[in-house]
Amino acid sequence: MSEAAALPGHRIDDAWLSDLSARIWSKQEFSMIPIDIDEVPRRSYSGPALSGRGERVVFCGIPSDYGTAFLLHLIEQRVNLVAVVCSTRWQRTHPKADLIARIAGHLGRPVEITANANTEAFVRSLQGYAPDVVIMASFDQILQPAVLEVPHRGWLNVHPSLLPRHRGPEPIYWTIADGDAEAGITVHLTVPRIDAGPILAQRRTSVSPDDTAGTLAKRLVAEGLDAVDETLAALQSGRSRPVPPSLDRGSYEPPVRQTELDWDQPFDRIDRLVRAGHPDQPPFFTYRGQRRFVEAVRPLRPRKAEQLGVVATMPPDEMVVAVQDAVLAARWRKIGHQHASRPLAKQQFP
């Protein structure tokens, strides 16, 4: 891993951006839900100027830990960032300037906001920036040929899986839920078919028995920074060698919806579902007519004659549950899955 990946944000040299980077990287887990940060920078950008040479880069993303970390890294690397694109799809109602837009404004870079990047109006706007490459990280729109043809060298998507395995919008969830021993992050060229474009760079890491989606996401981003640097350098030097993925050897999984736990499963399976859902999309069970969203489980003892389901409560936030092969303690919370709508705090959606 490069020094930049080991010490993210250490060369931004701007008080607000350095503080933002430090806050993100101090988290034990990365979330795919947009960061709700209301404060604005009180001073103008004070870091070194971004490059005006080299590949003209447009960045697209939503302001999750994942997407924001990649944008901050591009700033740290002084790329020739000519514009950023923000999506309003995840906001649903009452769109407002998000953190990605605020960072671009702080840098004095143009911001484009779109609910549909395939519209003729957006395609014309993107053409105006004459981008060599567009980089997507945590962008929630599917792109069609007209907009994909705009950048000279294509759209690069930073996808957190070992493509072609786990194509689709929730790869980290499925990596843990399926019990994969290895995870990865891939930079690939974007084509109209989801996560099916030629691979430009890839990094691998092992999955720990106690990994959650959040801890794995943070580790994958750290690895992905190097992969993005490698890809941009190869494109600029003409050394890029795209590798078509063998889709028949891969997999595609759909978006994750609210998952109800079935206690008639072994502990290992339930543990994987819980870790896959942490922190953004925890599974639930129903107790006395109310849903309880599970944050973590721990085994207590092998199951003997206990009936499946809740055996006892452990105030304030745990319940003893009998599953197929064990009795476990389940730590729960009242509020659960928000990943499908990705709401900001204090915003309500139907």
Q: Could you read off the pLDDT of 80-130 as tens digits, one per residue?
A: 999 999 988 766 555 667 899 999 999 999 999 998 999 999 999 999 999
Fold classification of 3-249 (topology level): Rossmann fold (3.40.50)
pLDDT bracket for residue 337 (50, 70, 90): low
Does domain 267-333 sit in CATH 3.10.25.10? yes
Please tell me the predicted confidence (pLDDT) of residue 123.
Answer: 98
* Residue type (1 letter), 114: T
Q: Rounded to the nearest 5 degrees, what angle is found at the Cα of 291, between the Cα atoms of 290 and 295?
A: 140
Q: Could you read off the pLDDT of 180-229 as tens digits, one per residue?
A: 999 999 999 999 999 999 999 999 999 999 999 999 999 999 999 999 99
User: Using the 8-state DSSP alphabet, how is residue 327 labeled?
Assistant: E
Q: Could you read off the pLDDT of 238-276 as tens digits, one per residue?
A: 999 999 999 999 999 988 888 999 999 999 999 999 999
d(CA 184, CA 161): 5
List, in sequence order, every beta strand (DSSP E) within the chain. Answer: 56-61, 80-87, 111-114, 133-137, 155-159, 182-189, 199-206, 284-287, 290-302, 309-314, 318-322, 326-333
pTM over 0.85: yes
> Across-strand partners of 102?
none
Please tell me the predicted confidence (pLDDT) of residue 141.
Answer: 87
CB of 195 closer than 8 Å to CB of 168:
yes
pLDDT bracket for residue 349 (50, 70, 90): very low
Please tell me the predicted confidence (pLDDT) of residue 204.
Answer: 97
CB of 349 closer than 8 Å to CB of 92:
yes
Q: Could you read off the pLDDT of 277-336 as tens digits, one per residue?
A: 999 999 999 999 999 999 999 999 999 999 999 999 999 999 999 999 999 999 999 987
What would the two tokens of residue 101 be?
């837009």
pLDDT bracket for residue 9 (50, 70, 90): low
Tokens 């988290």 sit on residue: 27
Q: Is the pLDDT of residue 4 over 80?
A: no
Phi first, then psi: give them for residue 317, nearest 5 degrees. Answer: -145, 30
Domain boundaries of the chain, sorted by first residue: 3-249, 267-333
